[in-house]
Amino acid sequence: AYFVLQVIYARRKHKISPPETTGHPEFERIFRAQVNCSEYFPIFLALLWVAGIFFHQGVAALCGLLYLYTRFKYFQGYTVAAQGRLGPLYASARLLWLLLGLAVAGLLAHFLLP
């Protein structure tokens, strides 16, 4: 919701009415950052859910909080400059891979071990 609100504020600041998605470079970066985060959110939720159920709730929750923090830093970095997104982007990708590994390990343990 925070990211969506930032897009609304940027639209007002730069006088860009919906459905336009181009205009001032600052608006375009904010809009793109919000869309990028939205695109990854379903993947994150699915991995978090499976890792929490089949591996460990606490570990999954910690990874989830770290992921949300890295996406927030990604958004902040991207709004300043496109290059500012790279560090947090790589960190959030590593956390998604970790959640995937935890989910797979939990599923394998649940279905293959007695």
Residue 55 CB-density burial (10 A; 0-12 exposed, 13-18 middle, 19+ buried): buried
19 preceded by a cis bond (ω within 30 of 0): yes
From the list 12, 29, 71, 94, the catalytic residue is 12
Q: Of the residues 11, 29, 71, 85, which is catalytic?
A: 85
How many other β-carbons are positioned within 10 Å of the β-carbon of residue 27? 22
11 is catalytic: no
Instruction: Respond yes or no: is residue 29 known to be catalytic.
Output: no
Contact 88, 53 (CB under 8 A): no
Amino acid at residue number 50: V
Which residues are the active-site residues?
Answer: 12, 85
